[in-house]
């Protein structure tokens, strides 16, 4: 099952639903029992630029991949952040 995240500048990103559920906000928006339009359409509009939404998707995948890994084996995510977008994140 896939979810589409759409940025304000029109970029779309497909993310596995289980990865998107790593965000509490997205989890609430996509909850089938909610009355949110996002739950029906599997599409979430994110009020950020595409570069920020892309980094959000990357972080959610990172979080999903390493959530049960021992602390010593988890690489530092901050090394993947470009200085130009740090303030927006």
* Structural domains in the chain (count): 1
| Within a domain: 14 | yes
Q: Could you tell me the residue range of the domain that residue 61 belongs to?
A: 2-80
CATH classification at residue 34: 3.30.710.10
Please write the tens of the pLDDT for every residue from 12-65. 999 999 999 999 999 999 999 988 999 999 999 999 999 999 999 999 999 999
CB 64 within 8 A of CB 18: yes
pTM equals 0.85
CA distances from 53 to 12, 69, 73 (A): 9, 25, 26
| Within a domain: 85 | no
| Within a domain: 9 | yes
Kindly tell me if the per-residue pLDDT of 83 is higher than 90. no
């Amino acid at each position: 099952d896939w979810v589409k995240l759409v940025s304000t500048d029109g970029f779309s990103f497909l993310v596995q639903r289980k990865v998107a559920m790593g965000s509490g906000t997205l989890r609430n928006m996509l909850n089938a029992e909610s009355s949110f339009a996002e739950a029906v359409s599997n599409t979430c509009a994110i009020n950020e630029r595409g570069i920020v939404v892309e980094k959000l998707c990357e972080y959610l995948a990172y979080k999903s991949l390493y959530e049960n890994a021992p602390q010593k084996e988890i690489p530092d995510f901050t090394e993947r952040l470009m200085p130009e977008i740090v303030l927006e994140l």
